[in-house]
Amino acid sequence: MQPLEDEPRMIDGEAMTAQMRKLDAQVVEVLERKPRVVIPEGFAARVASQASTLRMPASMRATRFGVTAVAVCAVLSAAAMLVLAPRTVSHDMFWMALQWMLCGQFCALTAWLALSRHETE
Amino acid sequence: MTLDTNLTTEGFEKLVREHQAMVFRTLTRLTGSVERVDDLAQGVFLRLYRALPGFRGEAQVSTYLYRIAVNVAQEEWKRRRREDRPLVSISEDTEWPFEERLRDPAKNPEELLEERELAALAEEELQRLSDSERAVLVLYHQEEQSYEQIAEALHMPIGTVRTHLHRGRKRLRDGVAARQEQTRSEVCNR
pLDDT band at A121 (very low <50, low <70, confident <90, very high): very low
Chain-centre distance for alpha carbon B179? 22
CB-nearest to A11 from B12, B16, B166 is B166
Contact B147 A40 (CB under 8 A): no
What pLDDT does residue A75 have? 93
Domain total in chain B: 1
Q: Which residue of B has its CA nearest to A53?
A: B9
d(CA B171, CA B92) in angstroms, rounded, equals 23
Q: pLDDT by residue for chain B (190 residues), tens digit each?
A: 555 556 678 888 999 999 999 999 999 999 887 778 999 999 999 999 988 877 665 567 888 899 999 999 999 988 888 776 655 555 555 455 544 555 556 667 777 777 888 888 888 899 899 999 999 999 999 999 999 999 999 999 999 999 999 999 999 999 999 988 888 787 777 6
Q: Which residues pair with A11 in a beta bridge?
A: A14
CB-CB contact of B63 with B70 (8 Å)? no
Which residues on chain A are in Cβ contact (under 8 Å) with B29? 35
A70-93 pLDDT per residue, tens: 899 999 999 999 998 888 888 888
pLDDT band at A20 (very low <50, low <70, confident <90, very high): confident
Contact B24 A6 (CB under 8 A): no
Residue extents of the structural domains in chain A: 57-120
CB-CB contact of B79 with B58 (8 Å)? no
d(CA A57, CA B77) in angstroms, rounded, equals 26
Which residues on chain A are in Cβ contact (under 8 Å) with B9? 48-49, 51-52
Q: How far is B83 from chain A (nearest CA, A)?
A: 25
CATH code for the domain in which residue B74 is found:
1.10.1740.10
d(CA B83, CA A7) in angstroms, rounded, equals 40
Query: Domain containing B58: what range?
Result: 1-89
Contact A23 B176 (CB under 8 A): yes
Write down how long chain B is: 190
Contact A31 B37 (CB under 8 A): no
Of B85 and A109, the one with more pLDDT = A109
| A67 touching B (Cβ < 8 Å) | no
- Is residue B44, in this structure, part of any structural domain at all? yes
Q: How far is B186 from chain A (nearest CA, A)?
A: 20
Mutate to test the interface with B, among A5, A36, A118 (most CBs of B within 10 A): A36
pLDDT band at A64 (very low <50, low <70, confident <90, very high): low
d(CA A87, CA B78) in angstroms, rounded, equals 64
Q: Which residues pair with A29 in a beta bridge?
A: none
- Is residue B80, in this structure, part of any structural domain at all? yes
Angle of CA points A64, B61, A66, to nearest 5°? 5
B4 phi/psi in degrees, rounded to 5:
-95, 120
Helix (H) or strand (E) holding B185: helix B158-189
